[in-house]
Each structure stands twice: as structure tokens, then as C-alpha cells.
Structure 1
Amino acid sequence: MNYCTLNISQEKRRVNKMKNCLVVADPNKCIGCRTCEAACGIAHSGGDFFNTNVSKINFNPRLNVIKTAKVSAPVQCRQCEDAPCGKACPVNAISNENGYVSVNKDVCVGCKICMLACPFGAIELASQYRDGEVVDQKGLKMSEEGNPTVNGKGRVVANKCDLCQDRDGGPACIEVCPTKSLKLVTYDDNNNIVEKKDDDEREVS
């Protein structure tokens, strides 16, 4: 375990004692290289990414790097305490437990309402995989016996940052960022950062 991984693990243990934590990016350091995006996709691929047929890999990053002429930064879930996406979900597939917002993909119906409700644009739809295969969507076509059958379309579900909860080293995006523009903070830490930035801007103006 290298120094970077050790630090992330220690930081993860610290923030898990709090109700909420999130990954924040410093746009002044981000170079838009999308290394974080690639690391996220690999961390959630569910298999040996480099030794498996590409068509059988679940490569769906849970963050997206946005680049403009002046700034670049990843867009990812803010782990809202009072999550609008969870409130909007008609089937209660989204909940805030253990300090982060999670999606129950077995319950999600891919209706896109959470995407519209998220104020940060941090949710997308992605194909659901099981055992290396895209899960078929059922329920839109009935068999002669009256049972839901495969309609020829892959099942899609809400896809968002889960802070790499199942990864020992913490969020993969933080570990690989070459400019250290990403960090894991508590909700209180983030509020303090925002308040300091507002104060600095007021002093300049």
C-alpha cells in the first residue's frame, strides 16, 4: 500500500464518522485529463478489466469531467442530506444511508425522474450488468401466458457516485488524480470551504 492509498484510507475512516461526506474538486488544479473518470469506470467494472472481453465489461463511470475554455472539473454526486433525487423517485429506489446517497438498482425502473431532480446533473442512466451480460428489460411485452418477457432492450438504471464504498482504498478518483485536485471532505468541511470562498470574493470586490 503506497502513501497515497494510506492517506485516503485514513481520510475515509475520518469522514465515515460523520453523517455525510463527498468528493470535491479544485477547478484551479484540474487539468481535464479524465484520469478520474477512467479510474471510476474500472473500479466499478465488476471484474478483471484488463483480461476480459470488452463487450462484457460494465464500464460506466459515475462522474463526468466537464471542460470549458476556462475551467475543467468532474461533475459528481454531492451526497445531499435531503436528496432531491430520493424525494422524486417514484419507486423509492434512492436513499441516504450511512452518510451517502445510494441507488437500489434492483428496484430502479430507469424513469429518469432523478436525473431531472438532481440540481448538479450528477445522475445518468447506464446499462445494468449481471455476470458479464447486459440485463434485459422486462415488463413492456407480455408472453402468451401473460408473463413479462424480454423486449429486446437492455435494462438501464440510475448511475451515480457511491464514494467507492466497497473499495478498501476509498474513492478511486482521488487516488489517481495526477494534480491532487480531488479530495474527500465532510459536509461541514465543504460548507466552510464555500463560506471562505464567498468571504474572499467579497473582500476582492
Structure 2
Amino acid sequence: MTTPSTFELYAYWRTSATYRVRVALNLKGLTAHERIVDIDAGEQRDENFLKINPLGAIPALVESGHAPLTQSLAILEFLDEYQPAPPLLPQDLHGRARVRSIAAMLAADTHPLITGRVKKYLTTAAGMDDTAWRAWQIQWFGTGLAALEQRLAAEPQTGVFCHGDTPTMADICLASIVEMVRIFKITIPDIPTIDRIMEACDTHPAFIAAKPSRQAGAPA
């Protein structure tokens, strides 16, 4: 295993996907030198960064001597294998599938609908104004979280966290979406199970340290 000091994380203070990687690094006790990619200034389209991720998206995790890793869920899986303790996935087959399913509901089905790339297209090519864009955000944040609430409230595997009583990849993805909801000052009603789980995340040191408001470049 290489030393954690060889990691570089291409990041930005407020992105949901970068937040996920920060939480995972914190849970694992790993560190990464951050290289800020200002997506508000369009730095993700710089030719040098496109050599790292041709999609022009962050985060990217780079380990010395290896190809860059992109896509937050793949990075979380990598970190879980790189540093197995504490685990981000349960030990049992069905538990791992459940956690991955919840994570995908959030990171693959909900988050992509409210990214900057989507906003840029909808507000230019599709002609959405700010009011329509906010309605779009509320619609898809609300749809995703309501569906997850239904699962978490009904399934017996739900504990203090999404799966049992220790944080997993599912909680990292849940918190990453809720943090964006907070940044955009959106209120999603009738999600008591999610609200309870978020209370546990909000008091966990790994999640606190990863909060967007605590990162370099965040508004004072």
C-alpha cells in the first residue's frame, strides 16, 4: 500500500460529489492534498484538467504512479478497498447490495439532475429562467428524497444510519444531497427518517469536517 500523502484530490468547496470523497477520506483517516478546480470560473474545462477527466467533472483522485480516478462512487469503493477499516459497506452480501442501491438512488438518480451542466443547458438551450430552474431543483430533490424516505422508513435494516448503526456509503451519499439542499435553501417536507439520520451525520466528526461551508473558497 502506498502512503496516503501520495493522494491529490481535485475538488471544489460546494460540489456534492467532492463532499462524498472528503467524508470517506475522513472516515478512513486518510488525507489528500486538494487542488481547487473553480467550476464557477469554468476551470473544469481547462485543457490541463480535461487530461485528468475528459468529462470535465470533479472530483478526481490521483495517486502517484497511477491513472486518475473519477466518479465519486468508484472513488468510495477504491478507498474502501485501499483502507478497509472502518468499512463503508456491510459485511453481508445483501447488506452491501442495499447500501449500493441507496447510494445509487442519490448519486446516480438524483444528483445528476441538478448539476451545473444540466443548469447551463436548461437555462440556455431550453430557455429556463431562475424561477423555473428552482422549481426543477425542488421537483427532483423532492422526488429523490421522498422515494428514499419510503424505503428507509419501511426497511428493517435502517438503524441510526441508513444501514445499521455506523455510517456507510449510503449515508455519505445521503448527506451529500442534503448538503446541496441546504446550500440552495430548499425545504423538503415529510422526510422524518432522513431528518433523523441527518442528525446523526451532522454530529459525526467526519461529516462535520467535510461540510462545504468549512472548505477553502466557501463564502464567509
Q: Common fold, TM-score beyond 0.5?
A: no
Which has a greater percent of strand? 1
TM-score, with structure 2 as normaliser: 0.23
